[in-house]
Amino acid sequence: MRELFLSMFLALGLAGFANAQEMTGKAAEDTKREILELETAKGKDLVKSPSQAADWQERFNADGLALTLPDGSTPTRDELVAMIRSGDVKDEYINHHDYRVNIYANKDVPHTAVVTWSGDEITVYKGKREHVFEKTTDVFVKVDGDQWRRVVHHVSPVPPGVVLLP
């Protein structure tokens, strides 16, 4: 089922993306602010409590989220939510910075947002505390006319001592 959803999403997305243009101007800046608010709210929720972190993941991640974590694992959205709710994954500290947001539109209607950032996080995974430096890419699409859903979340670890360029 997941493969079918992703195949349909890619087929439809690529067809629409062929006509898409990167959006500029006031509407693009307003949309960028909206996406950055989603990203920063996520960071705050992730460190508050497992319940709030899991709620954000359920609310804003698409069912067929394409997810790659720093260790290379690819859990489903529901598996990620379960790991967070159980306390197996807990973020203690998050410092996301150097955000870049590109908004794509079709006929001046924003439909896709690509967000990249650098991160510095302290995460506890099954009792093991890790300090992770990362480069992350998120892709959000607009569904049902006005709801943003994250469809891609890819985290690449950066070894200690490597300088992160924006």
Residue 162, in any domain of the structure: no
Residue 78 in domain: yes
**Lookup result for tokens 């924006």:** 166
Asked whether residue 166 is domain-assigned, the answer is no
Number of domains in the chain: 1
Q: Is residue 76 part of a domain?
A: yes
pLDDT at 92 over 50: yes
Q: What is the pLDDT of residue 70?
A: 86
Q: In this structure, which long-range contacts are made by residues 105-109, counting pairs with CB atoms below 8 Å and at least 24 apart in sequence?
A: 105/20, 105/21, 105/22, 105/23, 105/27, 105/28, 106/16, 106/19, 106/20, 106/21, 108/23, 108/27
pLDDT band at 14 (very low <50, low <70, confident <90, very high): very low
Task: Judge whether 34 and 116 are in contact, CB under 8 Å.
Answer: no
Share the mean pLDDT of the chain.
Answer: 83
The angle, 0 to 180 degrees and rounded to 10, between the axes of the packed helices 26-48 and 50-60 is 150
**Domain region containing 131:** 2-157
Residue 77: inside a domain: yes
CATH number of the domain that residue 125 is part of: 3.10.450.50
- pLDDT tens-digit map of 55-81: 999 999 999 999 999 889 999 999 999
- Report yes or no on 20 lying in a domain: yes
- Residue 7 belongs to a domain: yes
Q: Quick one: pLDDT band at residue 152, thresholds 50, 70, 90? A: very high
Q: How far apart are CA 33 and CA 30, in angstroms?
A: 5
7: number of Cβ within 10 Å? 11
pLDDT at 126 over 90: no
pLDDT (mean) for 27-47: 84
Residue-wise DSSP of 43-88: HHHHHH-HHHHHHHHHHHEEEEEEEE-TTS----HHHHHHHHHHTS
Q: Is the pLDDT of residue 149 over 70?
A: yes
Antiparallel, parallel or unpaired: β 147-157 and 61-68 = parallel
Is pTM beyond 0.85? Reply is no
Strand partners, 21: 105
Range in 1-10, 21-30, 118-127, 137-146 the model is least confident about: 1-10
pLDDT score, position 159: 80
Domain membership flag for residue 165: no
Q: How far apart are CA 138 and CA 155, in angstroms?
A: 9
| Cβ–Cβ < 8 Å for 95, 89 | no
Say whether 163 sits in a helix, a strand or coil.
coil
Q: Cα-flanking dihedrals φ and ψ of residue 20, to 5°? A: -75, 150
pLDDT greater than 90 at residue 48: no
